[in-house]
Chain A
Amino acid sequence: MSDRQITYLTDALIITCIVQASHADNVVKAAQNVGAQGATVTYARGTGVRERMGLMGVAIDEQKEMVRIIVSQEQSDRVFEAMYLAGELDKPGMGIMFMNKLDRIATYIPDEVLAEAAEPKAKAKPKAKAAPKKRKTATRRPVKKASK
């Protein structure tokens, strides 16, 4: 039996935002300002909207940047709105963004953070009236060791 473990996180969403090249930094900054931890940016090439905009299309950069941010369910709307406004997506041809629900995430979570998260439950005294059940957002299970 291996001592390695995976911690699964749930109740998270991935926000994908496609904007013109060099606009991604503003979008990422806005997301971080409202609580997003980090972002991943990749480069892409877009087509469609430039052709449909006719002459105005020449002002739209064909080179795009794609921002992906993973956020918790609670902060998703706030981050989505901040990114939308920072990317000026309410203007024609500026880009598009969407949000997908994730089944689960796995990443390294320090033991002390996990212990801290579990602590309030252990300390909580039983109440006369049962509180509504909270959804489990992290589960941990052992995993087989694989050669790198």
Chain B
Amino acid sequence: MITEIGAFMHKGEGLRLMNELHDDEKILGIYVEAGRTEDLFAFREFGSASENDIVTILVDTRHATKIFDLICSKMGLDEPQSGMVFQMRVQ
């Protein structure tokens, strides 16, 4: 079973996270996209929106919790305005 972990984070953080995790053997794939977000960060460059990175990580379900916690920790989610991480099972 494979689990997808997604993360919305500040612009530029996505590549940094990818570089930190790409050697991890538990991770099957990492993808980074750039986009804009509303209501996630207080700093807004474009009207009501701000730039952000979206990271998608595919991982074996057995290791999903560990990787999820690692990403949360690296993103510093216990601080406000640091983004959001979510996890879903790939059927």
Minimum distance in angstroms from A82 CB to a CB of chain B: 15
Q: Which residues of B contact A91 (CB under 8 A)?
A: none
Minimum distance in angstroms from B69 CB to a CB of chain A: 5
Q: Does A73 contact B (CB under 8 A)?
A: no
Which residues between 13 and 34 of chain B lie within 8 Å of chain A, taking CB atoms? 33-34
- Which of A56-64, A126-134, A140-148 sits within the interface? A140-148
Interface size on A, as a range, is 20 to 34
Is A103 a contact partner of B37 (Cβ separation < 8 A)? no
Number of residues in B with C-beta < 8 Å to the partner? 35
- Alpha-carbon distance A145/B89, docked complex (angstroms): 26
Residue of B nearest to A68 (CB): B54
Asked whether A41 and B37 contact (CB < 8 A) given A107-B77, A108-B80, A146-B73, the answer is yes
- Alpha-carbon distance A38/B52, docked complex (angstroms): 13
23 pairs, CB–CB < 8 Å, chain A vs chain B:
A5-B78, A6-B69, A12-B86, A28-B38, A32-B39, A37-B39, A39-B39, A40-B40, A40-B52, A41-B49, A66-B35, A70-B84, A100-B88, A101-B88, A103-B87, A103-B89, A105-B86, A106-B68, A106-B72, A106-B77, A143-B73, A144-B69, A146-B73
Q: Name A residues whose Cβ lies closer than 8 Å to a Cβ of B.
A: 4-6, 12, 14, 28, 32, 37-43, 66, 68, 70, 100-108, 110, 143-146, 148
